Amino acid sequence: MIDTLRYLLGSAGPSGFGSKSTAEQVTENRADLRFLTAIITGATSGIGAETARVLAKRGARLILPARSVKAAEDAKARIVSECPDSEIIVMALDLSSLNSVRSFVSQFHSLGLPLHLLINNAGKFAHEHAISEDGVEMTFATNYLGHFLLTKLLVKTMAETAKETGVQGRIVNVSSSIHGWFSGDAVSYLALISRNKSHYDATRAYALSKLANVFHTKELARRLQQMGANVTVNCVHPGIVRTRLTREREGLLTDLVFFLASKLLKTIPQAAATTCYVATHPRLSDISGKYFADCNETSTSKLGSNLAEATRLWATSEFMISRGPKAAFDLLKHLEF
């Protein structure tokens, strides 16, 4: 109850920011980020676009990968119209395709650029059951597995950049509090919905992908520490974004429900705040493997804090990207019997 009231009021937490803080406000002390090169997935609209706009406004060089190059070019044009001196590179990337991820990373490396910041923001909610070209349920493939491979292929560059520049690298995984809605065996459910349409539940599949983002953060933080890499990784819940309510509303009770619901939602600048805070604020130096909401550290679900399950998903993911999802699911089925 107290947490809800604090959220509604926008009360500041230990960080000095709260649910009503905006991306511009949390980066005011980072007015010159010209030393940073950042990759931001899903930056053509919504939270990702606002994150890109604010970081460009602060001077960061941006790489905007997108499935639709035109949409990314449009996003770039909007940013350049506000920030004429911004340096933005648009590249093609379909996160649901492992081949596309590998191609993107190869092209990025050919540019010879440093990499200080990786924001894994892109997300998908597949209402209808769909399978990626690699044989993985589409929501999971886009929200998690593509980002897993992308991060894996870029970590070395980030570690080298940090060593050469002395600037700590940061990885930000955008998850959701909805990760707490998933219960059960994550790997088994992924195999089930990747093979059998009849078991598909869109909300549960989305929750699974967001839980996977949390697991990825926990295990990657441990591995980065073992590597001795000057790179951190943290996970964020951006909040639920305020959208236009279009259905018919009649009566005092209905109006009251909509009014109360609107207070739980965020504007896009508010929703991008936690990502920008975790990506840039000096307070988070050396902080890794944590989960943030409303620009403050908070707790994941009980399952989300299970390090053994995080390690298990990592091993499964490594198998999927090296041997293929079908081989991974076949092995899992064999082990179950």
Q: What CA–CA distance (Å, rounded) separates 217 from 141? A: 17
Q: What CA–CA distance (Å, rounded) separates 18 from 27? A: 14
The dihedral through the CA atoms of 124, 128, 131, 137 has a sign that is positive
> Under a CB-based contact definition with an 8 Å cutoff, are residues 116 and 89 in contact?
no
Nearest Cα to 206, choosing from 185, 180, 184?
180
Q: What CA–CA distance (Å, rounded) separates 211 from 186? A: 8
Instruction: Tell me the sheet residues that pair with 37.
Output: 61
DSSP 8-state class, residue 210: H
Strands (E), the chain: 37-40, 61-66, 88-92, 117-120, 169-174, 231-237, 291-293, 296-298
Is 7 among the catalytic positions?
no
Nearest Cα to 93, choosing from 71, 110, 112, 113?
71
Exposed/middle/buried for residue 46 (C-beta within 10 Å: 0-12, 13-18, 19+) = middle
The dihedral through the CA atoms of 212, 218, 219, 224 has a sign that is positive
User: Which of 144, 189, 200, 277 is the catalytic position?
Assistant: 200
Please identify which residue in the block is written with the tokens 């119209």: 81
> Under a CB-based contact definition with an 8 Å cutoff, are residues 314 and 306 in contact?
no
Return the active site residues.
200
